[in-house]
Amino acid sequence: MKILIVFLSGLGNMILFTPALRSIREKYPNAQITLWLKQKAAGEVVRSLGLGIIIIPYYSRNIRGLFKQLLVFLKLRKTQYDIIITTFIEKGFKVRLMVRGLKAKKKLGYLTGSFTDRWFTDLLEFNRQEHEVERHFKIARVLNCPSTIQDPHWDLEDDRQLVGEFTAHHNIAEGCKVLVGLHPGSSRGLSHKRWNASKFAKAADLISEKYNAAILIFGSKEEVPLSKKIAKYVSSCKPILLSGRTTLPQTAALIKRCDCFISNDSGLMHVAAAVRTPQIALFGPTSTAKNAPLSAQAIIIDGKQIDRESKNPIENITVTHVLEAFEKLKETETKDYERKRALRSTIRPK
């Protein structure tokens, strides 16, 4: 049995796809499953699951990338697959054309209304109001996989040496009562999802001052200037800038050690949910019905609910909204805060 999954979305969507992926592997324990992935971060999540899945890259649009893409396509074309699954909902003519050129008994895709729909043996309808986890899991159900959906979870192997050295270097275990992570960024080209940097700084400043909190700022290399901008305006403590300094598994391990994670709608928001860290998720133009973090420890602040007529809903969220959410988390998660603080205090570098 050979299965090819074409997955062109990023980190957050991969986190949300993991329940379906686990179910497919459970249904086909001995199958050769190959993932054709666009983003490196998505591949890091898959590798950490230990499902024995082969990963091949989907290259960028530049000339060199297109040449590499052609070589990958020609290699895939030599294989007779039993099932090919596409997870994208756009018409995506180039990708659909490549899928058409591959050999498989069964090809799953989404109904787009395009003439390219005829290139698939099975078509799924896309419902804009259903959560991405449910959308992805429809694929598993079509394949008669185990039908009970599990919330995304990432049982990563903590990099204890990294976390231990990190907390010791910054005196976190001894000095702070609360460890708060921030992700003020978002995917490249989606800056409209970002809460205002000055508001992030103000919220971090007030939380640090009131709760003697250490502030960690997460992000990619491209988000370093944004992280520095926020750190510059926090006066009650010196935020620890992690943007571009850690691998994804290291980032996830540090987020897991946080008592609270505050972020925009981003991939790291879903990482926080998957490692079961209490969080405050800030939503502007995107849909909470489709993209909300699946966690009982998440508080979602939706700018559209504050003012439905606003043209820039993320700006409807105030610092007060975030502080009130933080207070609520602190009240309901007191025991967990104490447990994590005790756990951090026992971690020491080797």
**Residue 154, in any domain of the structure:** no
Residue 4 phi, psi (nearest 5): -115, 130
Amino acid at 286: T
Give the pair of three-digit tokens for residue 350: 């080797």
Please state the domain count of the chain: 2
In this structure, the answer to whether residues 181 and 92 fall within a common structural domain is no
Please report which confidence band the pLDDT of residue 347 belongs to, taking 50, 70 and 90 as the band edges: very low
Tell me, yes or no, whether 148 lies in a domain: no
Higher pLDDT, 175 or 264: 264
Round to whole Å and give the CA distance between 172 and 218. 17
With a cut of 70, say whether residue 350 has pLDDT above it: no
Q: Do 112 and 260 fall within a single domain?
A: no
Edge-to-edge strands of the sheet including 80-86?
Answer: 54-57, 32-37, 2-7, 80-86, 103-110, 122-124
Q: Which residues pair with 281 in a beta bridge?
A: 263, 300
Q: Is 315 helix (H, G, I), strand (E, B) or coil?
A: helix
Same domain, 67 and 194: no
Q: Specify if 151 maps to a domain.
A: no
The CA-atom distances, in angstroms, between 93 and each of 28, 88, 107, 115, 251 are 30, 11, 15, 10, 35
Q: What is the pLDDT of residues 38-59, one digit of tens each?
A: 888 999 999 988 899 999 988 7
SS3 281: strand
Alpha-carbon distance of 86 to 155, in angstroms, equals: 26
* Arithmetic mean of pLDDT over the chain: 88
In tens, the pLDDT along 241-288 reads 999 988 898 899 899 989 999 999 999 999 999 999 999 999 999 999
Based on the fold, state whether residues 114 and 6 are members of the same structural domain: yes
Mean pLDDT across 335-341: 57
Residue 12 has φ and ψ, to the nearest 5°, of: -60, -45
218 and 106 within one domain: no
For the residues 308-337, what does the mean pLDDT come to? 87
CATH code where residue 219 lies: 3.40.50.2000
Same domain, 175 and 135: no
One domain for residues 204 and 108:
no
d(CA 313, CA 27): 42
Domain residue limits at 210: 160-346
Looking at the fold, whether 209 and 332 belong to one and the same domain comes out as yes
Amino acid in the structure at residue 202: K
Q: What is the pTM of this model?
A: 0.89
